[in-house]
Amino acid sequence: TAFPDLKTLYSSNGNPELDAEHAYNLDAGISVRGLGPLWADVTYFRCDAFDLIGKKDLGNSYTFENVDRALISGVESDLKLQLFDELLYAKVSHTWMQTQDRRGERKLKSLDFRPEQRLAADLRLNFGFGLSLAAQYFYTGERRYELQGREATIETMPEYGLTNARVAQRFNWRGGRYALELFVQGRNLFDVYYEQSPQKAAPGRNLYGGLSLEF
């Protein structure tokens, strides 16, 4: 069971009439170890949902709605590599997903805004003297949705890929009881144009830095 939160109920796009969603879930997977520094995981998932909480496009805005009956299924794959006593860490994750919106009156038979393909890659270097380097890449495939109107039309939001990076230097003293970290971080480094909601640009390149103190 999943209950609607404050955002889906009472934000500017909220719907206070939402009901809780209920689902029957199945996960079946296999984990492969014993390949030295390489780990692999593959998982099949299936979710039969009732009153699923999803987005509904209204043309120039969106709201949330309950989908009477929906099916979500797919395969998640993870590949991890760890070398040199955690000096190098790398992980690649891929999700292939199919959805069904089982409301008979709809033109689009899949759920709105659900991409079929997602990919994430994470690379980290952790040096013994406190320096750490990290880079991530996130890919989201095309997302389709049904635009409401006299004649329902099917629109497509384009795929996109984002690259993030972070450089940090950490200083420890008193056996690690106290620590100071200086960092510089960038998100969407290549200033890719992308949309998380229809016709609304998401944040572009974002560079910032700071420090954190632990005691």
In the chain, what is the greatest distance between 2 CA atoms, to the nearest angstrom? 69
What's the pLDDT score for residue 60?
A: 67
- 2 DSSP 8-state letter: B
Q: What is the pLDDT of residues 24-75, one digit of tens each?
A: 999 999 999 988 899 999 999 999 999 999 888 776 678 899 999 999 999 9
Closest CA to 120 of 167, 86, 73, 79: 79
What's the pLDDT score for residue 198?
A: 84
What's the pLDDT score for residue 36?
A: 87
Please state the rounded mean pLDDT for residues 150-162: 89
Q: Note whether 169 and 28 are within 8 A (CB).
A: no
pLDDT at 153 over 70: yes
pLDDT at 151 over 80: no
Q: Which residue bears the tokens 């795929």?
A: 159
